[in-house]
């Protein structure tokens, strides 16, 4: 995926983009629906996000993040933009995000793979009830009180499980590097 | 960089990474990230967790003409990029505050709200509720004792203050919840300038503070 994004960035390669789209767009849509978005909202937001992926491919820096992480941040921002548009008229302006272009380096990609494997390991190690609350933390846009209601748990329990999970993830991933 | 002693809570960093903060607090956290490598690493790690969750989400089929539409939109609007959150969107997350101020901190128009205390409210309500302001505390001035009805993030941009928690200098961030009461006092010879985001209004503990509140607008 990182190589495909690089191809999109370099020459606007549509076939490479179609592959990225085929893999990520349905996942972004599924992700948003898990967070409570209706299928229509999720479809629109996923389309918005993929337009940004295409337009901003040049800003993707494989030395800094995996393609999935980068697309996650774009989908996250697309959701925020939707809230922003709903609450006041859209602003037009220049995009401040103009990062210098960098080409992928082999050692970065290798490191990236290791880091991705590490995340899988750390998440698999979490007690299931903590992992569940943490997943909702990322999917959901709603306050933790809404998550607590949905899980039929006291708010304090949700908060403490989340805190334990987040502290552990931070420690394990932070120690690794 | 290494002089930063007070950081956002892990929970706050994870909220930032998941896009759960209001814009006011997102700006404060992003500004802190520009000054703190440790917290930047933590946010990146949480974003990687988000990426992993995205990858492992069960796919839901897109509309049959979605790809076509996306390609068409990307072409037509190639040169018009709608700004996402300036706070979240900066690749380096480098002092995103500048995007919200009309100039530098030196050009801020201060409004005096009490002896030794002035503020400037910053327009940053693009999404969700929250209030962002700059507060200038003159040397030796003490803020009225107050607590917060919600989470409050205070980042020191200039000077220093001390309160019940400890000493705060440039780059330090106080991440305070509702139950906490404090009385910050500016230290040193220069005014202390803080960037403050509140999810809800402050609650003053003293009568004088409560009387002053409507005028201060805190």
pLDDT of chain B, 218 residues: tens digit per residue: 457 999 999 999 999 999 888 888 888 998 898 889 899 999 999 999 999 999 999 999 999 999 999 998 887 544 444 444 555 554 434 446 766 776 678 888 898 888 888 988 887 766 667 788 899 999 988 887 776 667 889 999 999 999 888 999 999 999 988 777 788 899 989 999 999 998 755 555 565 566 555 555 55
The pLDDT of residue B76: 55
pLDDT over 70 at A7, yes or no:
yes
The pLDDT of residue B81: 46
* Token pair listed for B3: 């002089």
Measured distance CA(B143)–CA(B191) in Å, rounded: 13
The pLDDT of residue B202: 52
* Token pair listed for B156: 């020191």
Beta bridge partners of B112: B118
Asked if the Cβ–Cβ distance from A119 to B49 is below 8 Å, we say yes
Mean pLDDT, chain A, whole residue set: 82
Distance from CA of A11 to the nearest CA of B (A): 14
* A115 in B contact zone (CB under 8 Å): yes
* Token pair listed for A26: 């349905």
Which residues neighbour A8 within 8 Å (Cβ) at sequence distance 6 or greater? A16, A17, A20, A53, A54, A57
The pLDDT of residue B209: 61
The pLDDT of residue B125: 66
Distance from CA of B62 to the nearest CA of A (A): 6
In the CATH hierarchy, which fold is given to the domain comprising A1-89? Rna Polymerase Sigma Factor; Chain: A (1.10.1740)
A22-76 residue pLDDT tens: 999 999 999 999 877 899 999 999 999 999 999 888 888 888 889 999 999 999 9
Distance from CA of B82 to the nearest CA of A (A): 6
Q: Please determine, looking at this structure, whether the domain spanning A105-177 carries the CATH number 3.40.190.290.
A: no
- For chain B, which residues make up each domain, given as ranges? 10-99, 105-216
The region, left, alpha or beta by phi > 0 then psi within -120 to 50, assigned to residue B80 is beta
**What CATH architecture applies to the domain B105-216?**
Sandwich (2.60)
Measured distance CA(A14)–CA(A37) in Å, rounded: 29
Which residues neighbour B56 within 8 Å (Cβ) at sequence distance 6 or greater? none
Asked if the Cβ–Cβ distance from A163 to B69 is below 8 Å, we say no
A contacts of B49 (beta carbons < 8 Å) = 119, 123, 134, 138, 169
Residues of chain A with CATH 1.10.10.10: 105-177
Q: What is the 3-state secondary structure (H, E, C) of B20-65?
A: CCCHHHHHHHHHHHCCCHHHHHHHHHHHHHHHHHHHCCCCCCCCCC
A contacts of B22 (beta carbons < 8 Å) = none
φ, ψ (nearest 5 deg) of residue B133: -150, 155
Q: Of the candidates A42, A72, A166, which has its C-beta nearest B50's C-beta?
A: A72
Which helix (H) or strand (E) segment is B198 a member of? strand B192-198
Q: Is B161 helix (H, G, I), strand (E, B) or coil?
A: strand
The pLDDT of residue A93: 33
The pLDDT of residue A116: 81
Asked if the Cβ–Cβ distance from B59 to A47 is below 8 Å, we say no
A67-107 residue pLDDT tens: 999 999 999 988 888 877 766 543 333 333 333 333 344 45
* A109 in B contact zone (CB under 8 Å): no
Q: With beta carbons less than 8 A apart as the criterion, state whether A130 and A165 touch.
A: yes
Distance from CA of B54 to the nearest CA of A (A): 6
Comparing CA positions, the residue from A38, A47, A102 lying closest to residue A75 is A47
Mean pLDDT of A113-129: 88
* A31 in B contact zone (CB under 8 Å): yes
Which residues neighbour B72 within 8 Å (Cβ) at sequence distance 6 or greater? none
B contacts of A112 (beta carbons < 8 Å) = none
The pLDDT of residue B63: 94
* B68 in A contact zone (CB under 8 Å): no
Other beta carbons within 10 angstroms of residue B208's beta carbon come to 12
Residue of A nearest to B40 (CA): A174
* Token pair listed for B124: 């940053």
Distance from CA of A115 to the nearest CA of B (A): 9
* B128 in A contact zone (CB under 8 Å): yes
The pLDDT of residue A89: 42
Q: Of the candidates A78, A163, A173, which has its C-beta nearest B45's C-beta?
A: A173
Beta bridge partners of B155: B173, B195
- In chain A, % of residues over pLDDT 70: 83
Residues of chain A with CATH 1.10.1740.10: 1-89
Q: What is the CATH number of domain B10-99?
A: 1.10.10.1320
């Amino acid at each position: 995926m990182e190589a495909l994004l690089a191809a999109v960035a370099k020459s606007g390669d549509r076939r490479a983009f179609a592959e990225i789209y085929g893999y990520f767009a349905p996942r972004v849509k599924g992700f948003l629906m898990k967070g409570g978005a209706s299928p229509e909202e999720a479809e629109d937001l996923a389309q918005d996000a993929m337009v940004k992926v295409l337009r901003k491919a040049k800003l993707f820096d494989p030395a800094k993040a995996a393609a999935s992480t980068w697309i996650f941040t774009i989908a996250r921002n697309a959701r925020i933009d939707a809230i922003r548009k709903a609450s006041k008229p859209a602003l037009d302006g220049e995009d401040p995000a103009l990062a210098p272009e960098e080409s992928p380096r082999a050692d970065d990609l290798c490191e990236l793979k290791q880091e991705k494997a590490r995340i899988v390991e750390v998440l698999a190690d979490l007690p299931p009830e903590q992992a569940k609350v943490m997943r909702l933390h990322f999917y959901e846009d709603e306050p933790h009180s809404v998550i607590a209601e949905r899980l039929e748990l006291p708010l304090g329990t949700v908060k403490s499980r989340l805190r334990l999970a987040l502290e552990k993830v931070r420690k394990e991933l932070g120690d690794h590097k | 960089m290494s002089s930063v002693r007070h950081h956002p809570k892990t929970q706050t960093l994870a909220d930032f990474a998941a896009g759960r903060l209001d814009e006011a607090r997102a700006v404060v956290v992003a500004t802190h990230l520009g000054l703190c490598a440790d917290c930047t690493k933590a946010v990146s790690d949480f974003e990687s967790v988000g990426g992993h969750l995205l990858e492992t989400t069960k796919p839901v089929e897109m509309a049959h003409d979605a790809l076509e539409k996306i390609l068409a939109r990307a072409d037509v609007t190639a040169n018009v990029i709608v700004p996402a959150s300036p706070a979240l969107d900066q690749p380096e997350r480098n002092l995103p505050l500048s995007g919200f101020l009309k100039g530098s901190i030196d050009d801020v128009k201060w409004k005096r709200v009490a002896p030794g205390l002035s503020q400037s409210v910053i327009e940053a309500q693009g999404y969700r509720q929250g209030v962002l302001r700059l507060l200038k505390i003159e040397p030796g001035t003490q803020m009225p004792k107050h607590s917060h009805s919600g989470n409050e993030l205070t980042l020191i941009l200039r000077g220093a203050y001390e309160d019940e928690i400890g000493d705060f200098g440039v780059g330090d961030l106080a991440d305070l919840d509702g139950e906490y009461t404090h009385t910050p006092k500016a230290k040193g010879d220069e005014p202390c300038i803080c960037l403050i985001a509140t999810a809800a209004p402050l609650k003053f503990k003293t009568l004088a503070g409560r009387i002053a509140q409507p005028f201060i607008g805190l």
